[in-house]
A and B are shown apart, each in its own frame.
Chain A
């Protein structure tokens, strides 16, 4: 069965602090995809990154970085030098071949507040 856990419900940081959002996933499949989406206060869902199960390279995009570790089934997201505009709900998500790549399962989300 698929499951995505984001244990941190809410996080508050002061601007310019680094923050890591945790994501732990469960799947019985060996082929799967992991995603992060951002939902700002305006409500839309913004795609941030996709990672497939065969690519464990960490990725950096500006102030954002992602740490994928299959050994611990984790796909954590770090924001460096946080800014007020980073305040949003962040969702980790998973799709796998056995269930269907078209059925993406979202975690419960982590609400990040960046305080000026």
Chain B
């Protein structure tokens, strides 16, 4: 069964450093998403991406965040200057027809900012 692949599974970074989280969505999917889950808390929407541009973003997704689809297969989330409160599990998701039809999530990247 096709899957969304995220790398790395765990990343530790120092506060203030830039970090890039990588995702390979399912190949025929057109909609891409990032969500995050602070430990033990709810899953929160960050951003959606379609047709090479951001379609929706939450208030969490401020100027320190950016997303990019640098080629036909990867979808990245960059955090420019990490803060301690950015420590969370980050999930990438993709969908062929949009959020209304449900997502396929990746297995997540656990980001720890120290």
Instruction: Give residues in A with beta carbon < 8 Å to B.
Output: 33, 35, 37, 42-47, 50, 52, 91, 93, 95, 100-109
Contact = CB atoms under 8 A, between A and B. Distances in A.
Contact of A43 (B58, B99, B100, B108): B108
Contact of B48 (A45, A102, A107, A108): A102
State the majority secondary structure of interface residues on B.
Answer: strand
B45 A104 contact: yes
Given A44-B108, A107-B42, A50 B101 contact: yes
B99 A101 contact: yes
Given A45-B91, A101-B99, A106 B44 contact: yes
A4 to B, nearest CB: 9
A37 B93 CA distance: 13
A52 B11 CA distance: 37
Nearest to A6: B42
Nearest to B108: A43
B102 A108 contact: no
B99 A106 contact: no
Contacts of A43: 89, 107-108, 110
29 contacts: A33-B101, A37-B43, A43-B89, A43-B107, A44-B105, A44-B106, A44-B108, A47-B102, A47-B105, A50-B100, A91-B42, A91-B43, A93-B43, A95-B99, A101-B99, A101-B100, A102-B33, A102-B48, A102-B56, A102-B99, A103-B45, A103-B48, A103-B56, A103-B58, A103-B99, A104-B45, A107-B42, A109-B42, A109-B43
